[in-house]
């Protein structure tokens, strides 16, 4: 089986092909108007016009994320219980800036006119207070036809306890042949607002994802296509069409999974992933395993599915630098993207970016970018930097250094958000730097955060695509279940969990019949809280789950209430289908490896240039050690090694960087 990982980013599209001969890589600019064009170009690079029958593609896409941020989803009707039509617009009392009178609300997903209330009422225990009207289906079909509805989201009150009314509405709308998302299938849990936004966003993005996948599969023919999920696992493309919301962190999740898998091979337990691409920077903390969360927000709206806990900031190689109204230098969050891109790309960009600043400071070699396939335009950058420096009343070098310091401060803040703000000291973790731009910034970030060890993976520029190659299919299920105190020790909990797992096995076996080995791992979880609390913690369902909850609560909040009864609000299970993995390529360490510099380069670390040797990463053998200052150039990334750092090449061809 040939497995091709494809990561479509905002600036570049990355490819990693796993075959019997090892791993082959490729990278090219993304085509934001139609992401599939870049994918087809990559396929032609590897296979020409004829795709092999034993090819499997694992694709991480930004289609869902961009579609939602740009509000380019389907024309969606929201159906809810009469009297609750405004839940979407009222939201929660929580506000990011409580005392800001000028707060800007996120853009509407749908207007109020696209919400329909139906007369029915289900109680919290699943009993019917008011039956669903007999004419509801006819009325909703009429609304859909009149408004040209393309997708429907149904979220009725307390449907997690009894979904009978939602199922009836779904059946009544089946004759329209448009997708219908019901909340009891996508998120059968309490909390009306979060359940409603999750259901609505899934319905809103469903036709967009379905259209993209159908177009792509039509061009791929009989080739197997899988989609990267936001929790790090994958699913066949046909399965993901009805779970569009599971792809909102598709690409970044592949990077975290790839870094974690590599860290396990290196026997490193605690890592912070630092993925700096062209458009944004994604950071995540893995303490033995990737951190998952169900409190993620996209453009201000909560989605209560399980995703990788990734903190994203608008700080990438393409982040735009400019002077704001107050005369201060600002960098990001806007990005130059793939088109027109940074000024140095020479394809029409007119605003300076972080990549332009790195080139101006000598940290990039104009003739070595993208493996020498793209010549960077230094003269255009120098002219633009001179204009910006004049506006700021600075020297051009000072302006460029200012751009780097500002973007570094933004990324350091993101790393602190996933570590210090959650009770973890970054000094105790290893920083995994990957993505096209991370190698130029990781050492300065490590110095800022007092991190002692950095790993630059062998294929750092395309690690997200590599993570997709090694990802495995999984299915997640959840169910509302309210128990408290002594009820947790009754057979009710075990019986409900067994039913949920049985449901998962039935679907997992279908995937196994489609070509997967029937080696399935099951993980069971409980969402618990102290009685009276408004938040819960996800705890593994083991014999000592009560003590595990106390320990987790003490770690997160620094106290435990040993005598307070616990309360269960829901149960979860995850079924992972194991696949045979190919080992990463290794190279034995040489006894006394040596390397000659490619050339020397004048680099600005501060205001005075320093001549540093430049080395080709492809020429660096396992066991080689180097002391900074130096520049290491790779096909898809460049690593800046300051004077206070040294590196060693390990057997997996990773660069292990430490402070001297």
Distance CA 599, CA 615 (A): 8
* Cα–Cα distance for residue pair 29/369, rounded to 1 Å: 13
**Does the pLDDT at position 177 exceed 80?**
yes
Domain residue ranges of the chain, discontinuous segments joined by +: 69-209, 251-313+407-469, 474-577
Q: Supply the pLDDT for residue 155.
A: 97
CB within 8 Å of 330: residues ≥ 6 apart: 321, 322, 323, 324, 406
Domain 69-209 indexed as CATH 3.40.50: yes
Output phi, psi for 332, to 5 deg.
Answer: 75, -175
Model confidence pLDDT, tens digit, residues 85-137 = 999 999 988 777 778 888 788 889 999 999 999 999 999 999 999 999 889 99
What does the alpha-carbon distance between residue 378 and residue 114 come to, in Å, rounded to a whole number? 52
d(CA 608, CA 283): 32
- DSSP H helical segments within 419-490, as ranges? 442-449, 463-469
Sole residue written with tokens 């898809």: 636
Write the DSSP symbol of residue 92: -
Mind listing the pLDDT tens digit for each residue in 516-565? 555 888 999 999 999 999 889 999 999 999 999 999 999 888 899 999 99
**Using an 8 Å Cβ cutoff, are 163 and 543 in contact?**
no
Q: Indicate if the pLDDT at residue 181 is higher than 70.
A: yes
pLDDT confidence of residue 518? 59
* Pair 517, 577: CB distance under 8 Å: yes
Residue 291 has pLDDT above 70, yes or no: yes
CATH number of 251-313+407-469: 3.20.20.80, 3.40.50.920, 3.30.420.40, 3.50.50.60?
3.30.420.40
Give the pLDDT band (50/70/90) at residue 512.
low
Q: How many CB atoms lie within 10 A of CB 633?
A: 23
Domains 69-209 and 251-313+407-469 share a fold: no
C-alpha Rg value of the chain to the nearest Å: 26
Supply the pTM of this predicted model. Answer: 0.87
- Across 248-270, average pLDDT: 91
Give the tens place of pLDDT for each residue, 23-72.
889 988 888 888 889 999 999 999 988 898 889 999 998 888 888 888 99
Q: Which of 93-97, 314-318, 380-384 has the highest mean pLDDT?
A: 380-384
């Amino acid at each position: 089986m040939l497995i091709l990982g494809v990561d479509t980013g905002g600036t570049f599209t990355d490819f990693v092909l796993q075959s019997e001969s090892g791993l082959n890589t490729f990278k090219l600019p993304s085509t934001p108007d139609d992401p599939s064009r870049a994918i087809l170009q990559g396929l032609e690079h590897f296979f020409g016009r004829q795709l092999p029958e034993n090819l499997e593609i694992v694709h991480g896409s930004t289609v869902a994320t961009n579609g939602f941020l740009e509000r380019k989803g389907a024309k969606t009707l929201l159906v809810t219980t009469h009297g609750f039509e405004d839940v979407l617009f009222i939201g929660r009392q929580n506000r990011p800036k409580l005392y800001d009178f000028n707060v800007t609300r996120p853009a509407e997903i749908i207007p109020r006119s696209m919400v329909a209330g139906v007369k029915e009422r289900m109680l919290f225990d699943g009993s019917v207070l008011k039956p669903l009207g007999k004419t509801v289906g006819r009325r909703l079909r009429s609304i859909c036809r009149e408004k040209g509805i393309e997708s429907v989201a149904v979220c009725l009150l307390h449907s997690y306890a009894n979904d009978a009314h939602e199922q009836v509405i779904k059946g009544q709308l089946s004759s329209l042949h448009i997708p219908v998302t019901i909340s009891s299938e996508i998120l059968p849990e309490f909390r009306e607002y979060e359940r409603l936004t999750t259901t609505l966003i899934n319905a809103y993005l469903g036709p967009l994802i379905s259209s993209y996948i159908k177009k792509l599969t039509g061009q791929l023919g009989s080739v197997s296509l899988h989609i990267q999920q936001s929790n790090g696992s994958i699913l066949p493309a046909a399965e993901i069409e009805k779970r569009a919301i599971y792809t909102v962190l598709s690409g970044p999740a592949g990077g975290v999974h790839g870094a974690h898998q590599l860290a396990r091979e290196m026997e490193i337990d605690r890592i912070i992933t630092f993925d700096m691409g062209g458009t944004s920077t994604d950071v995540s903390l893995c303490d033995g395993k990737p951190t998952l969360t169900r409190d993620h927000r996209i453009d201000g709206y909560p989605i209560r599915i399980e995703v990788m806990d990734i903190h994203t900031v608008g700080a990438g190689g393409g982040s735009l630098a400019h002077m704001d109204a107050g005369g201060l230098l600002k960098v990001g969050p806007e990005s130059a993207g793939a088109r027109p891109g940074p000024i140095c790309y020479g394809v029409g960009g007119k605003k300076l970016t972080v990549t332009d600043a790195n080139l101006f400071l000598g940290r990039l070699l104009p003739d070595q970018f993208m493996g020498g396939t793209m010549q960077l335009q230094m003269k255009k950058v120098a002219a633009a930097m001179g204009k910006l420096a004049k506006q700021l009343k600075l020297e051009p070098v000072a302006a460029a250094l200012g751009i780097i310091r500002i973007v570094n401060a933004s990324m350091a803040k993101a790393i602190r958000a996933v570590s210090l703000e959650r009770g973890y000291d970054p000094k105790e973790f290893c920083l995994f730097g990957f993505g096209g731009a991370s190698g130029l910034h990781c050492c300065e970030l490590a110095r800022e955060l007092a991190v002692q060890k950095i790993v630059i993976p062998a294929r750092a520029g395309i690690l997200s695509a590599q993570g997709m190659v090694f990802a495995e299919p999984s299915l997640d299920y959840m169910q509302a279940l309210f128990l408290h105190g002594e009820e947790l020790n009754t057979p009710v909990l075990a019986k409900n969990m067994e039913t949920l797992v049985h449901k998962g096995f039935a679907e997992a076996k279908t995937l196994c019949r489609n070509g997967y080995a029937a080696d399935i791992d099951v993980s069971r979880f409980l969402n618990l809280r102290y009685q009276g609390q408004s938040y819960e913690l996800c705890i593994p369902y083991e014999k000592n789950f009560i003590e595990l909850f106390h320990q987790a609560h003490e770690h997160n909040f620094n106290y435990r209430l040993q005598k307070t009864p616990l309360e269960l609000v829901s149960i979860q299970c995850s079924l992972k289908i194991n696949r045979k993995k190919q080992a990463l390529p290794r190279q034995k360490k040489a006894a006394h490896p040596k390397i000659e510099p490619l050339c020397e380069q004048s680099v600005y670390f501060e205001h005075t240039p320093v001549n540093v040797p430049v080395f080709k990463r492809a020429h660096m053998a396992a066991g080689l050690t180097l002391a900074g200052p130096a520049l290491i150039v790779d096909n898809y990334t460049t690593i800046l090694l300051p004077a206070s750092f040294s590196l060693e090449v390990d057997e997996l061809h990773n660069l292990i960087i430490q402070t001297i």
